[in-house]
Structure 1
Amino acid sequence: MPFHKSAMNIRLKDKHILTAYCRRPTGDALYSELDLNRFIGAKKGKLTWSCENFSDCATDVTLRMDGPNHEPLLQARLDDGEGNICSDELNLSSCIKNEDGHLRYMQCF
């Protein structure tokens, strides 16, 4: 199950740390943090999984819950390497899970 279905107060801290209160199977919730810089990078103006340090070159970084399933979308403006500034977004639920009350990155490719 995507992490956002079992988490509350999903936020972005310091433009690269995902925070949430994640429910455990017992029903209680734990505060958890995950540094997205360890798993997301930027290539040619696009946010990319399995890279690092996207926030070093990103501006206007935000997290918003969108769509009918309120999916967590990381948004940023990035340089494409040719002098153009591009806007891109990445659905965090595709590669992040709630594992017993802790946010965890999972290989998704």
Structure 2
Amino acid sequence: MSFHLSSTDIRVDDGHILRARLDNGGGEHVDAEFDLNTVLGNNNGNFEWGGSDFSHSAEEVTFSIEGDESVPVLRARLRNMEGNAEWRDVNLSERITNQGGSFVFQE
């Protein structure tokens, strides 16, 4: 299940730590966190699932819930090989789910 549909208080702290209160399947919401640096990289100025340490080359990292579908969007200026920083974004619900009150990365 996409994590944002079963959670409250979603945020990204320190530019890479996803935190929320996730429904554990038993009707309770539990605190959970996930380091996005373990699954997101910067590939020549673009977010890359399966990479790592995107935040080391990111500037102005923001997080928001957007649109009618309440999509959880991580946005940052990522540096490419030439050193230029461009705005990029990624829908975190593409690969991150809630399983029993824990964040799980789906490859």
Provide the TM-score with structure 1 as the length reference. Answer: 0.95
Question: Shift of the alpha carbon at 1:78?
Answer: 1.1
- Name the aligned partner's letter for residue 10 of structure 2: I
**Tell me, which stretches of 5 or more residues in structure 1 are unaligned?**
none
Report what 1:39 is aligned to.
Answer: 39
Could you report, residue by residue, the CA deviation over 1:36-72 in whole angstroms, capped at 9, with x for unpaired residues? 0000000111111000000000000011111111110
Aligned equivalents of 1:85, 1:35: Cα separation in 2: 22
Extract structure 1 runs of 4+ deviating beyond 4 A: none
Q: Which amino acid aligns with 2:24?
A: R
- Counterparts in 2 of 1:14-33, with a 5 A limit? 14-33=14-33
The match for 1:3 is 3
Q: Which residue does 1:63 correspond to in 2?
A: 63
Q: Partner of 2:78 in structure 1?
A: 78
Q: Which amino acid aligns with 1:95?
A: R
Q: CA RMSD in A?
A: 0.8
TM score, norm. by length of structure 2 = 0.96
Structure 2: which 5+ residue stretches go unaligned? Answer: none
- 1:90 match: 90
Q: Name the SS for the 1:82 alignment partner.
A: coil
**Take 1:84 and 1:12, find their aligned partners in 2: how far apart are those partners?**
24
For 1:76 and 1:19, locate their aligned partners in 2 and report how far apart those are by CA, in whole Å. 18
Task: Work out the CA distance in 2 between the residues paired with 1:11 and 1:83.
Answer: 28
Q: How many residues align?
A: 107
What's the offset of the Cα at 1:81? Answer: 1.1
Which residue pairs with 2:99 in the alignment?
99
